Amino acid sequence: MHLHILGICGTFMGGIALLARAMGHQVSGSDANVYPPMSTQLEQAGIVLMEGFEAEHLQPVPDIVVVGNAMSRGNPAVEAMLNQGMLYTSGPQWLAEHVLQGRWVLAVAGTHGKTSTASLLTWMLEDAGMQPGFLIGGVPENFGVSARLGESPFFVVEADEYDTAFFDKRSKFIHYRPRTLLMNNLEFDHADIFDDLDMIQRQFHHLVRTVPAQGLIISPLNDGNLSDVLDRGVWTPMEFFDPDIEAGWHTENATPDGHSFDVICEGEYQGTVNWDLIGRHNVANALGALAAARHAGVPVKEAIQSLGRYKNVKRRMELRGEIDGICVYDDFAHHPTAIETTLDGLRKQVGDARIIALLEPRSNTMKQGVHADQMALALQAADRVMMFVPDDLQWDAAASLAPLGSRVALFNDTQSMVTEVVEMAQSGDHLLVMSNGGFEAIHQRLLDALQARMPV
């Protein structure tokens, strides 16, 4: 079968492409924004990539067109697909029908931490010899790919609440029918498709309704927004976690930066985690993943040991390089809560060392200014804030970040940002780049410019 995927370089659709290729299908795809790491994965898998969305890309006519949720009416490829009566489906629907049917699905949902937690869970299963399949919105370093079919009934999927396609406005995760559901947290996001928090909560409750009575739902103990979802009705056993307060799963003796902590499950000490990750958010992610892994049959003590062998996901506090004692990190944070927790984790790790935060407000929600009044507080832990201001930003960045005073600098182009950062950077600094896009390859440009200023 020949699948052509529209929007193939998105992390989710790229994963669909890898799964289809592994099943023996012929796969091609179109996208307007092709950049690593997804483009590299696809090319290595022998998948043909086409730049843009031309009608000609659908000739000869594929057996089915898989449509990404970034596609809309008016797109030349979409219009050609509809006019010629081609068979088409969404990525989540194709995944449900061709990969997930009949498998034990472990779904990780939530506003923040889905990719990291799904990667943690997948590694626990893998390290226990269970050979799970997975589709994750990033590239876990333990695997080197974002998706694989697996050799067992278990399949871990990052369960995104974003809409499915232009013809299916339900959240993606409605299609997955998990047996194990882990919900990390819930805040308002995706203002381009959700009018308010209640609309997102309604979708989360639709997801809750699909979990069987013989399954398990795992949720934080003190997330009020998720509690409201669960108050609407639950038909499945539940387990709760929290890093700070006593819950079914909680921690004791945690170091301030989260590098080490004791795991307590149902009042019993299970073991001590010693790992490379930092931040309270990652401790919470680990607790939820431990609960999900136990449900799938992994002994807790084994899973705790697996965490010590875990390698983080690309673009999650990923150290891209160090030049002259200056560290450059790449992080996916693009929501005030994620920005704040990422900075907090780095601050606890580096102490008084200077942190220079470089931010690109790229998501639709960020551009619309839904969280503009939260940005100054989210960036408080940074010593300097360098923010790129795109032409379509709909809020006054200078006014919103005014509480940070002279620590803030705004830029209309990334080259000016690179130049100023490199001029000010000193040995011992930490340059934290935060964006959910390519940010014009600013990470490598910073490293190159820092290297160029070194004495010959």
126 and 274 share one domain: yes
Of 255, 273, 307, which closes a domain?
Answer: 307
- The number of distinct structural domains making up the chain is 3
Burial of 112 (0-12, 13-18, 19+ CB in 10 A): buried
The pLDDT of residue 50: 92
114 and 79 share one domain: no
The pLDDT of residue 190: 67
262 and 299 share one domain: yes
Instruction: Examine residue 96 and state whether it is found in any structural domain, yes or no.
Output: no
The pLDDT of residue 439: 87
CB contact burial 68-101 (16+ within 10 A = b; e otherwise) = bbbbeeebebbebbeeeeeebbbbbbbbbebbbe
Of 33, 60, 91, which closes a domain?
Answer: 91
Instruction: Examine residue 365 and state whether it is found in any structural domain, yes or no.
Output: yes
Instruction: Examine residue 313 and state whether it is found in any structural domain, yes or no.
Output: no
Q: Mean pLDDT lowest for which of 182-191, 211-220, 244-253, 290-299?
A: 182-191
Token pair listed for 282: 């990652």
Token pair listed for 405: 């005073």
Q: pLDDT, tens digit, for every residue of 316-338? A: 778 899 999 999 999 877 778 88
The pLDDT of residue 112: 86
Nearest Cα to 37, choosing from 68, 5, 11?
A: 11
Q: pLDDT, tens digit, for every residue of 237-248? A: 999 999 988 899
Confidence of residue 129 (pLDDT cuts 50, 70, 90): very high
Residue 195: pLDDT over 90: no
The pLDDT of residue 167: 97
The pLDDT of residue 283: 93
158 and 68 share one domain: no
% residues pLDDT > 70 (the chain): 98
Token pair listed for 208: 């809750």
Instruction: Examine residue 79 and state whether it is found in any structural domain, yes or no.
Output: yes
% residues pLDDT > 90 (the chain): 70
Q: pLDDT, tens digit, for every residue of 14-32? A: 999 999 999 999 999 999 9
Instruction: Examine residue 312 and state whether it is found in any structural domain, yes or no.
Output: no
CB 3 within 8 A of CB 63: yes
Q: pLDDT, tens digit, for every residue of 386-444? A: 999 988 888 898 999 999 999 999 999 999 999 999 999 999 999 999 898 778 889 89
Instruction: Examine residue 291 and state whether it is found in any structural domain, yes or no.
Output: yes
Confidence of residue 314 (pLDDT cuts 50, 70, 90): low
Confidence of residue 3 (pLDDT cuts 50, 70, 90): very high
247 and 157 share one domain: yes
219 and 80 share one domain: no
Confidence of residue 110 (pLDDT cuts 50, 70, 90): very high
CATH number at residue 347: 3.90.190.20
118 and 254 share one domain: yes
134 and 270 share one domain: yes
Confidence of residue 37 (pLDDT cuts 50, 70, 90): low
360 and 279 share one domain: no
Average pLDDT (143-163) is: 93
CATH number at residue 51: 3.40.50.720
Q: Which helix (H) or strand (E) holds 265?
A: strand 260-265
CATH number at residue 292: 3.40.1190.10
End-to-end C-alpha distance for the chain, whole angstroms: 56
Range of the domain at 443: 318-452
Average pLDDT (360-382) is: 84
302 and 326 share one domain: no
Of 307, 339, 354, which closes a domain?
Answer: 307
Token pair listed for 252: 């004791």
Q: Output the average pLDDT for the chain.
A: 92
Instruction: Examine residue 97 and state whether it is found in any structural domain, yes or no.
Output: no
Q: Which helix (H) or strand (E) holds 285?
A: helix 280-295
Provide the pairing of β-strand 318-323 with 326-331: antiparallel
348 and 445 share one domain: yes
Average pLDDT (172-196) is: 88
300 and 173 share one domain: yes
Average pLDDT (272-298) is: 94
Instruction: Report cis status (omega within 30 of 0) of the bond before 403.
Output: no
Instruction: Examine residue 218 and state whether it is found in any structural domain, yes or no.
Output: yes
Nearest Cα to 282, choosing from 119, 145, 43?
A: 119
The pLDDT of residue 191: 65
